[in-house]
């Protein structure tokens, strides 16, 4: 069985004047809140929830910051496929795939995927027909079970 929660946000024409950093920050806050609520509804409120939310923040920020498609929709999905919980972030810029960067200690950015790699039990990306998906896989704690009625 599979349980999923999906939410998305689309940048409007009026938001184009707002910097990518501001858009990323606003969308990240929305995705964090939705992610926390979904995980809590599913009974996941511990360190795993923190790791998933932080990873969602990083992947959403990357999607917004690097997507070259105007008025792009970024879609965030949480899926339980026991024994795993998958976080998926979709954006329409299929041409820009995520890459790990070896950043020096003084670099101000570029560590998001490294952080996701440390928090998750695996991550990757794939190209779908109209979007790309960057995903992170988290192992559910032993004895946990999929949410009832989701």
Greater model confidence, 100 or 49: 49
The full set of domains in the chain, from first to last, is: 3-139 (3.30.565.10)
pLDDT digits (tens, 9 = 90+) for 1-48: 345 555 555 554 444 444 555 555 666 667 788 888 889 988 998 999
Question: Which contacts of 17-25 are long-range, i.e. CB under 8 A and separated by 24 or more positions?
Answer: 20/64, 20/65, 21/65, 23/64, 24/60, 24/61, 24/64, 24/65, 25/61
> pTM (2 decimals)?
0.79
pLDDT digits (tens, 9 = 90+) for 104-126: 666 566 678 889 999 999 999 99
- State how beta strands 73-81 and 123-127 pair: unpaired
* DSSP 8-state secondary structure symbol assigned to residue 46: S
């Amino acid at each position: 069985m599979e349980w999923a929660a999906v939410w998305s946000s689309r940048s409007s024409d009026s938001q184009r004047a707002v910097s990518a950093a501001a858009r990323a920050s606003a969308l990240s806050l929305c995705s964090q809140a939705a992610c926390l609520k979904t995980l809590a509804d599913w009974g996941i409120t511990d360190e795993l929830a923190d790791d998933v939310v932080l990873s969602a923040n990083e992947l959403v920020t990357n999607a917004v910051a690097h997507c070259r498609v105007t008025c792009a929709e970024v879609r965030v999905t949480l899926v339980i496929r026991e024994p795993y919980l998958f976080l998926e972030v979709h954006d329409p810029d299929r041409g820009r795939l995520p890459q790990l960067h070896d950043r020096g200690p003084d670099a101000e950015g570029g560590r998001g995927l490294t952080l996701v790699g440390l928090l998750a039990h695996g991550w990757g990306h794939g190209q779908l027909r109209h979007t790309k998906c960057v995903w992170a896989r988290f192992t559910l704690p032993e004895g946990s079970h999929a949410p009832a009625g989701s």
